[in-house]
Amino acid sequence: MAENELHILSAFDRDLESLQAHFLRLTGLAEAALMAAAVALEDLDVPAAEMVVAGDKAIDALEEFIQMEAASLIARRSPTASDLRRVLGVMRASHSLERVADYAKNVAKRTRLLAHSAPVAGHSGTIRRMATLVAGMLDDATKALVHKDGVLAGAVRKRDLDIDQIYNTLFRSLFTYMMESPANIGPSMHLHFIAKNIERAGDHATTIAEQALYLATGEMPSDPRPKAGMAS
C-alpha cells in the first residue's frame, strides 16, 4: 500500500474514532435522560423532571453535530463500502438515540401533571424497571454497533420481548385500575402513555441492534422482530 494511502487510511480511522466517541457520549446522555425521567416519575419530583426537559436541547445539539460530522467525513474521506456502512450506521443510530431522549422528555412532561393527580400506587416502580431494562439494551446495542458484535446485537434484539411483556402486563393493570373509579382514569392514562414511550424507546434500541447485525453480517435480520401481543 502506498504511503499516501496509508496516511488517508489513518486519517479516516482517527475521524471515525472521534465520531464514535461522540456517538457513545450521546448514548450515555440518552440513557441518563431515560433513567432520570423514570426516577423523577417514581418520586414525583417535578424539579428533576424539569431538568430532563431542559437537558433535551443539549442532546438534540449533539445529535445534530454527529450528523454533520458524519456527512463531512463521507465527503472528505470517500470511505470504502464497508467503512461507509459504519458511518451510516452511526448516523442512523444517533437519530434513534435522539428519539429515545424525546421519549424521556415526554415522560418528564407527564410527571409534572401526575404530581398534581391522585396517586396510582405500584405502577411507577414497574415503569422504572422498564426504563432500566431499555437503558441496558441501549448500552449493549451501541457497543455492538461500535464493535460490530453480531452476537451481542442478536441478544439485544431478543430482549425487546421482555419490554413488550412488561408493557402489556402494565396496560392490563392500569385498565383494571381505571375501571374501579372514574378518578383513576386521568392519572392511569398518563401512566399508560409514559409506559408506551418507554416501550418505543426499547424499539429504538432494537433498531440500533439490527444496524449492528447488518454491520457484522452484511445482512439485516430476515426473521420478524419478536413481539408480545398488544405491543405489536
Domains present along the chain, CATH in parentheses: 3-231 (1.20.58.220)
User: Which position has the higher pLDDT, 148 or 123?
Assistant: 148
Whether residue 41 contacts residue 124, with contact meaning beta carbons closer than 8 Å, is answered with yes
| Average of per-residue pLDDT values in the chain | 90
- Would you state the cell numbers that stand for residue 157, as one nine-digit string? 434484539
Whether residue 32 contacts residue 44, with contact meaning beta carbons closer than 8 Å, is answered with no
Residue 37: per-residue pLDDT: 97
Render pLDDT for 170-183 as a digit per residue (tens, 0 to 9). 999 999 888 888 88
Answer positive or negative: Cα dihedral of 26, 31, 37, 39.
negative
- For 221, list phi and psi in degrees, rounded to 5: -55, 135
Predicted structure pTM score:
0.90
Average pLDDT over every residue of 46-54:
97
Residue 115: per-residue pLDDT: 85
> What are the residue ranges of helices labelled H in the chain?
3-43, 46-77, 81-114, 123-147, 150-180, 185-217
Residue 193 has pLDDT above 70, yes or no: yes
Average pLDDT over every residue of 68-72:
96
Q: Residue 93: CB partners within 8 Å, gap ≥ 6?
A: 23, 141, 142, 145, 207, 208, 211
